[in-house]
Structure 1
């Protein structure tokens, strides 16, 4: 099990990223738009820099839903490789069978 504080911190980051996503994407669009004046683009860049760092989507870590393990996590299933193997071996994941060749 991962430290509870690390898992909770990641949950807070995800919540913050979801809250600031519209504002952040609007500012980024303004910055990338070549039709907007350079002054407005610079202002948008300053406003983007003022937003909390943890509101960026990139700072959210993919973690296992069951154990909180940060590495070796399958995005589609939101499970770590260890839990995926355990659940597949016990028949908990539909359609997944142990391979043999």
Structure 2
């Protein structure tokens, strides 16, 4: 289980990302349309004035059961460790775990 402070920080980043998503998207579209260097600088300054944690790239995908940040499978939304336990318990039909 992850520390609660890390989970809360991630939740705060998700809220900020949702809040500034449309603003960031419109500024990036505008940045692609403009050819003047001065205009690009102005738009870039406005983009940089947004909170740093509102960027999509700062979000981290976590296991929804344990909160583990590593070895997550996007299709299932859980970490590899939990996925292996669920397959062994026959909770995921159609999946096979190799053993050696």
Range of TM-score over shorter length? 0.7 to 0.9
After TM superposition, give the deviation of residue 100 of structure 1 in Å. 6.3
| Equivalence for 1:27 | 27
Alignment of 1:1-101 (within 5 A): 1-35=1-35, 37-99=36-98
Query: What is the TM-score normalised by the length of structure 2?
Result: 0.88
Secondary structure of the corresponding residue to residue 82 of structure 1: helix
- Structure 1 unaligned residues grouped into runs of 5+: none
Q: How far apart are the structure 1 equivalents of 2:31 and 2:54? A: 18
The count of aligned residue pairs is: 100
With structure 1 as the length reference, what TM-score do the two structures score? 0.87
C-alpha RMSD over aligned residues = 1.7
CA distance in 2, matches of 1:13, 1:58: 10
Structure 1 outlier segments of 4+, above 6 Å:
none
Please say if residues 31 and 42 of structure 1, whose CA atoms lie closer than 8 Å, have aligned partners that are also in contact.
no
